[in-house]
Amino acid sequence: MLSTEMPRTTTGSTLLKTPASPSPNQNLLPLTAVINKNGELEIGGCSVTALVEQFSSPLYILDETTLRQAAQQYRQSFQTHYPGPSQVIYASKAWSCLAVVAIAAQEGLGFDVVSGGELFTTVSALKQLGWDEAEIAEKIYFHGNNKSVQELQEAIAVNCTIIVDNWLELETLSKLAANSGEPVKIMLRLTPGIECHTHEYIKTGHLDSKFGFDPNQLEAVFTYIAEQPALHCLGLHAHIGSQIFERQPHQDLGEVLVQWFAKGLTYGLPLKELNIGGGLGICYTESDDPPSIEEWAQAAALSVAKACDHHNVPYPKLIAEPGRSLVGSACVTAYRVGGRKVVPNIRTYIAVDGGMSDNPRPITYQSVYRVALANRMNDELSETVTVAGKHCESGDILVKDVALPAAEPGDILVVTATGAYNYSMASNYNRLGRPAAVLVSQGEANLILQRETYTDLLRQDCLPNRLLS
């Protein structure tokens, strides 16, 4: 039997930590979140209830202040703690859209893209901001373990840096570069063999990974590149995973990368950049305890600097590519509550008007989230419920066994920390349109992603004439 005992004085306002951490990744809600005099949740000076009334639901609500502060903290932390040059680049896979790219660019960030679509989105946004071709080329890094020839050609056309993942890609690039007229900028991704405590699906630094060259391949790779004048190898890259709370793996990574960096220099390669990836975790529940942005950046920066000093290597340009810890905590998703089902002595379900199509992480990764009723933040948490999505799938559960006020149809339920891997992994399962997204700041709300309509769902459909006869 499920226990429903809980402290009766607890309310939804407990999601607002007091005092809140200045590091966005350590908060459940965006930095601007407050409870107004009506007991409603406000973000960016906008009532969540009013936003749902205006833009409908489900609705992604992105707080501009939180995103900007996270970007500033990353950039300033590396400038403070690393003695050489540094560049923070946004891992676009977390959430790629014109508005997010524009904000990151305005805060001085570069961009990690992993597909032709992300590249196109990023370039489109930067051109609208007035960036010239040289600026765009300098700030974009193209990742991926199976880039198509078309994607490689698109990257070469932009003149961005391509993170080479394997032998086939390296050999393909050599042929493409020979016809490009100028050297193609590359970095090499290696698998450093470093384990960290995170979900099995998001571990990428251990040796049994689909990503990167194994260390025992690198000397052959260095030899090959040294004989390819059309390839300009700028440096090395490694990424050890995602949603990481430990600092030691990144401290270990600095030593591993610098050792191979020093080795690459002996082959005459013009190495000058070192990309340590990202991976800093965020708070999805009150029990999560990630380092702050500055603590993570300091540990990573000092480990690279120490290794450079030890191996007598000039400080390379240090690149970090956070995604989740930049945008994850900056967003909430708002839903309307529908009906309920009570299974006596077992569980009470309440349903919302979205689910696995707008947030596939619970069913995919068994991810845990926190929720609140945005229109009743000060009400007692009087029952334990499981929040179910509306999809025709028994596993479409957003949050299990969570304390809430007695929810009624029409209440506005918010799920916190949904800025990363929610819209970017959203689908049209059950032919649902993907939700709208709004950007909020200082009481103003701007639509940044339109809600998909039924017409949008049919846009790519083709009905052969022979089926009509």
CA dist 121 and 367 (Å) reads 28
> What is the CA 10 to chain-centroid distance, rounded?
31
Strands 59-63 and 436-441: parallel
Annotated binding-site residue? 60: no
- Is the dihedral angle over the CA atoms 198, 201, 204, 208 positive or is it negative? positive
Does the annotation list 278 as a binding residue?
no
Are 31 and 65 in contact by the 8 Å Cβ rule? The answer is: yes
Three-class SS of residue 392? coil
Those residues whose C-beta lies under 8 Å from the C-beta of residue 297, and which sit 6 or more positions away, are 74, 77, 78, 81, 320
Whether residue 444 is annotated as binding a ligand: the answer is no
What one-letter code names the amino acid at 80? Answer: T
CB 118 within 8 A of CB 92: yes
- 180: amino acid identity, one letter: S
CA distance 259 to 13: 49
Q: Does the annotation place 323 within a ligand binding site?
A: yes
Report whether 381 contacts 419 (CB < 8 A).
no
Structure-token pair, residue 90: 């946004």
Structure tokens at 328: 């994850």
**Rounded CA separation 425/436 (Å):** 14
d(CA 31, CA 23): 9
* 117-142 burial: b if 16+ Cβ within 10 Å, else e: ebbebbbebbeeeebeeeebbebbbb
322 is in an annotated binding site: yes
Question: Is the C-alpha dihedral spanning 144, 215, 138, 85 positive or negative?
Answer: positive
Distance between CA atoms of residues 306 and 312, nearest Å: 10
* 133 marked among binding-site residues: no
- 421 known member of a binding site: yes
Helix then strand count (H, E) for the chain reads 13, 20
CA distance 7 to 380: 9
Instruction: Decide: 141 and 275 in contact? Cβ < 8 Å.
Output: yes
Residue 279 assigned ligand-binding role:
yes
Active site residue 196: no
Strands in 34-35's sheet, in edge-to-edge order, are 34-35, 41-43, 46-47
The verdict on whether residue 393 carries a ligand-binding annotation is: yes
- How far, in Å, CA of 84 to CA of 396, rounded? 48
Q: Which of 233, 283, 308, 392 is catalytic?
A: 392
- Annotated binding-site residue numbers: 279, 321-324, 361, 365, 393, 421
Task: Cite the annotated binding site for substrate by residue number.
Answer: 324, 361, 365, 393, 421
| Residues with active-site annotation | 392
Please report, in range form, the residues annotated as the binding site for pyridoxal 5'-phosphate: 279, 321-324, 421
